[in-house]
Amino acid sequence: MKDGFVKAASCTPEIAVADCARNSAAIESLAKEAAGRGAKIIVFPELSLCGYTCSDLFLQRAMLDAAKAELLRLAEATADLDALLFVGLPLEYGCKLYNAAAAINRGRVIGIVPKTHLPNYNEFYEARHFASGARQARPIRLGSGPDAYDVPFGTDIIFECGEMEHLTVACEICEDLWVPSPPSIRHAEAGAVVIVNLSAGDEMTGKDRYRRDLVVGQSARLVAGYVYAAAGDGESTTDLVFSAHNMIAENGALLAEAERFRNETVYGDIDVDRLASERRRMTTYPSLTDAGYVRVSFSLNVTETPLSRRFDKLPFVPDSAADRGRRCDEILTMQAMGLKKRLSHTRAGAVVGISGGLDSTLALLVTARAFDMCGMDRRGIIAVTMPCFGTTDRTYNNACRLAERVGATLREVPIANAVRVHLSDIGHDESDHSVTYENAQARERTQVLMDIANKSGSLVIGTGDLSELALGWATYNGDHMSMYAVNVSVPKTLVRHLVRYYADTCGDDGLASTLYDVLDTPVSPELLPPEDGMISQKTEDLVGPYELHDFFLYYMLRACYPPQKIYRIAKLAFAGEYDSGVILYWMRVFYRRFFSQQFKRSCLPDGPKVGSVAVSPRGDLRMPSDASAREWLSALGV
């Protein structure tokens, strides 16, 4: 439960139809197993205490009494479990019979939620036996004698964990999800962050895909966790087959899914704090409307949930090759579309400074695509290489070949002499390779590009990427500045994949071979003299691995995770690659640089947003340039 994670379990016991004692024992066994594995929310299928397929046996007093008795026995038998359980049963109330879900915690039934929407088609005839549940919760008496107690009964109940602020749970039952306006919508609007669904939908060919889409889609629409437990083997097969298609979803992502027809328990770690954070940032999410809701407290021990969910090391990069290719093409198109509009609006050409590195290569490829979209001759792209003290033959030659293969107009403007004059003018010794020495080159290159743009009626196309902006790894008014920055929201880990995708699909062997060599070149600003003709200044040796910084950036800005939570999941994601000390060191570097370098992001040029994380001061990141990092660094023990 620490860091906002709560483990949920979706369980399907093998039941015996109408044998409540046997079913209760099976549920108890699975509940203890799930709790032993750290599950705090444990959900069983619809009518699981007796079986969904009892048909007219639901009307028998003997079975109704047995189901209620086994519910109370189950509550007592699981009193030591540190969990909130949901179990289905038929329950009589006010001379009506309801298809109900009972919530159990610490040895007591703490609430009962009746089903609202009763199917009455095909093989389903629930309306033959059951009444639709009323929204307003009323008390129902359970037990007898001095041990009897009242329990709220109604659809509009939210179960709130006293020890975990955002762990609020509500319930709907099977068909409730399949209707145009499911109860879970109003539950979420009333503050429920996790929805559980006790289901017994039958299986038919192709139905699993629709069911999965419903569960995942509802979790996305509600910005919620969704735990779906389905009936399976053990139900009567007189007319139907049940597949135990258990699922756990979170905000549009499927965390766990059972193999159908196996009665499998699945587990998922729901991040309730992140769900709450997503709702906070969505100004369109409805304000709390809890009129008529009953709020029931339950208790859990605060423990560190053993996490089984996977955290992608590269959150900006899709996992599968197919998704990656589709996403890369989409991003290249979005970058080019942004530039296309700016070119058509200004009726200007383009000037791109090319170094033979990844970022300038991507900017040149995007510019070429934008020119194609505009129907403009690529020779109108002025690709400028500006060799200086740190330029190597490898990067220089790659820059020249790229310009040639793309069809741009190549211009070479050596800047070493100009930089020497400038260093002399300001009284800086050329042998002093400090930041002044480096930035003088970066600013000279920007001046050259700007002046060529003025002369040719063109725009300077920015090459800097999102990761560099997050770290402030840019020379203020040097490579930091342009007239349109096409890479401004593309992180470094994604730049590499975009260039590789272009190489793989361009159909030009000469261009592809050059792009592959660029990909193999160490990332460097090349502002210090080479050593034996090789790059001497490697960016990641200085600021740290970009895959770590992109990971920190994503979970800080997109998920709003606190530092200690990012540290915890980074250790899981990068286990075996970086030890905890290395991760902590670079996290401290990240936060220090992120806060201290905001002034560079406060005056960024225009550029297209292509993903969910961006740092534009006009929209995505409105942050004071002099904000303190103390709270974030303190959380890391600094």
pLDDT digits (tens, 9 = 90+) for 356-393: 999 999 999 999 999 999 999 999 999 999 999 989 99
- Laid out side by side, the sheet with 247-250 consists of 253-257, 247-250, 225-230, 194-199, 168-173, 157-161, 294-298
Q: DSSP assignment, residue 182?
A: -
Answer whether residue 638 shows pLDDT above 70: no
* pLDDT the model gives residue 305: 83
Residues acting as catalytic residues: 46, 115, 174
Beta strands in 258-354 (DSSP E): 266-271, 294-298, 349-353
Measured between alpha carbons, how far is residue 148 from residues 24, 94, 98, 164 in Å? 20, 17, 20, 29
Kindly indicate the confidence band of residue 125, based on its pLDDT and cuts at 50, 70 and 90: confident
Tell me the pLDDT tens digit for each residue of 460-509: 999 999 999 999 999 999 999 999 999 999 999 999 999 999 999 999 99
**Mean pLDDT of all residues in the chain?**
95
Q: Which CATH homologous superfamily contains domain 321-543?
A: HUPs (3.40.50.620)
Q: What is the DSSP string of 587-618?
A: HHHHHHHHHHTHHHHTTPPP----SS----TT
Q: What is the mean pLDDT of residues 310-322?
A: 90
CA-to-CA distance for 622 and 615, rounded, in angstroms? 8
Q: CATH 3.40.50.620 in the chain, residues?
A: 321-543
Answer whether residue 413 shows pLDDT above 60: yes
Q: Of 387, 380, 346, nearest to 364 (Cα)?
A: 380
Answer whether residue 616 shows pLDDT above 60: yes
SS3 content of the chain, % helix, strand, coil (to 5): 40, 20, 40
Token pair for residue 238? Answer: 């007189």
CA-to-CA distance for 380 and 616, rounded, in angstroms? 29
Tell me the pLDDT tens digit for each residue of 52-83: 999 999 999 999 999 999 999 999 999 999 99
Torsion of CA 574, 576, 577, 582, to 10 degrees: 80
The upper half-sphere exposure of residue 449, i.e. CA atoms within 13 Å in the direction of its Cβ, equals 31
Tell me the pLDDT tens digit for each residue of 171-217: 999 999 999 999 999 999 999 999 999 999 899 999 999 999 999 99
Q: What is the DSSP string of 519-588?
A: HHSPP----S--BTTB----HHHHH--HHHHHHHHIIIIIS---HHHHHHHHHHHTTTTS-HHHHHHHHH
Kindly indicate the confidence band of residue 541, based on its pLDDT and cuts at 50, 70 and 90: confident
* pLDDT the model gives residue 159: 98
Kindly indicate the confidence band of residue 536, based on its pLDDT and cuts at 50, 70 and 90: low
Q: CATH 3.60.110.10 in the chain, residues?
A: 2-298
Residue recorded with tokens 């950036």: 553
Beta strands in 301-455 (DSSP E): 349-353, 381-385, 409-412
Answer whether residue 122 shows pLDDT above 70: no
Per the document, the length of the chain is 638
Kindly indicate the confidence band of residue 15, based on its pLDDT and cuts at 50, 70 and 90: very high
CA-to-CA distance for 465 and 473, rounded, in angstroms? 10
Answer whether residue 263 shows pLDDT above 70: yes
Kindly indicate the confidence band of residue 576, based on its pLDDT and cuts at 50, 70 and 90: very high
- Which of 114-118, 152-156, 285-289, 358-362 bottoms out in mean pLDDT, i.e. has the lowest? 285-289
- Which of 21-30, 96-105, 299-308, 537-546 bottoms out in mean pLDDT, i.e. has the lowest? 537-546
Pick the CATH number of 2-298 from 3.30.450.20, 3.60.110.10, 3.30.1330.60, 3.40.50.300: 3.60.110.10
* pLDDT the model gives residue 304: 86
Beta strands in 115-193 (DSSP E): 138-142, 149-153, 157-161, 168-173
Q: Of 107, 116, 97, nearest to 154 (Cα)?
A: 116
Residue 614 near residue 569, CB atoms below 8 Å? no
Backbone angles phi, psi at 598, to 5 degrees: -60, -30
* pLDDT the model gives residue 124: 67
Answer whether residue 249 shows pLDDT above 90: yes
Q: What is the mean pLDDT of residues 563-583?
A: 96
Kindly indicate the confidence band of residue 594, based on its pLDDT and cuts at 50, 70 and 90: very high
Rama region for 229: left / alpha / beta (φ>0; ψ in -120 to 50; rest): beta
